[in-house]
Homo-oligomer: A and B are copies of this chain.
Amino acid sequence: MLKSHIRAEWDLYPNTGRFLLGRRRSSLTVEERCSLEQMMGDSRALVDGETLVRRGELIDRSCMLVEGFMLQSAEHDGGRSIISIHVPGDFIDLNAYALKRLDYDLVSLGPSKVALVSHERLARELAQQPHLTRLLWFSTLLDAAIHREWICKLEQLQAAQRVAHIFAELWYRLDLVGLGSAGSVRTPLTQALLASMCGVTSIHMNRALGHLRREGIADFRRGTLYVENRSRLEAYGAFNPAYLYSDESSNLSEATLHDVLTV
């Protein structure tokens, strides 16, 4: 894909290079990319299971996920349910810029690294940059779109299909930000975590994964996912990437796409 003499976005912009990659990053000017990169102050490393933000607490800064994965989770009497997963390039709690507090916990899945930016700084920069503002706004709405899709899937699909959908989505999103690999994906996920994501017990998740394995759709073993036929996985999980608003899945003519990206 990338010719060797062209430096990758993540080399040019170590903290923010994967932000909106494959979505509308191409509509960011070089100045905007630099502005975004330079906004980022300290970075912070988290260990597995470490909580970055606790629900309800007031926040005056947001974080860009640079490396690793994070989970949106919500505790309740007798367990925790996992709402969503973040991959590098996600501006994970940018919504706190408008919300001031989150309604969920952000927990590191495996070791991860985030870069921080204060809301004060953000406000200063954005007051002068309506286009960048609109793109940041866009990025926070992607989460909502992912939530909506997940609601549909919870309502329609049964356990094995739900995991298949999670696998397909995760893989697709990793591809978008330049982290996809060929026949397998390595994550710190366990069967119990997948169960929490799908709203089933870990025992049932185990059987669902066994089903996918026997059917030759996907083989998940100790955090590594092996898939031979990806479109088969996607079909089984009823995965249609339109909701991810990637540049490819937009189904728009080039001219229209150009309008969309630049307006």
Q: Which A residues form the contact surface with B (CB < 8 A)? A: 56, 58, 72, 74, 76, 79, 81, 83-84, 95, 97-100, 103-104, 119, 123, 126-127, 130, 133-135, 137-138, 140-141, 143-145, 147-152, 154-156, 196, 198-199, 238, 242-243, 245, 251-252, 256, 260, 263
Contacts and interface: CB of A to CB of B under 8 A. Distances in A.
Residue in A103, A133, A140, A243 whose Cβ sees the most chain B Cβ within 10 Å: A103
B147 A98 contact: no
Contacts of A155: 81, 154, 196, 198-199
A81 B156 CA distance: 8
Nearest to A103: B243
8 tightest Cβ-Cβ pairs between the two chains A and B: A155-B199, A144-B144, A147-B147, A98-B138, A103-B243, A98-B137, A154-B154, A81-B155
Contact of A154 (B84, B130, B199, B251): B199
Contacts of A256: 58
How many copies of this chain does one complex carry?
A: 2
Please report whether the interface of chain A is mostly helix, strand, loop or mixed according to DSSP. helix
A12 B194 CA distance: 50
Contacts of A84: 148, 151
A83 B134 contact: no
Nearest to A198: B155
A263 B144 CA distance: 24
A240 B119 CA distance: 28
A9 B175 CA distance: 48
A151 B150 contact: yes
Contacts of A243: 103
A123 B76 CA distance: 41
Contacts of A135: 98
Contacts of A138: 98-99
A238 B76 contact: yes
A216 B113 CA distance: 51
A148 B72 contact: yes
A227 B195 CA distance: 35
Nearest to A120: B263
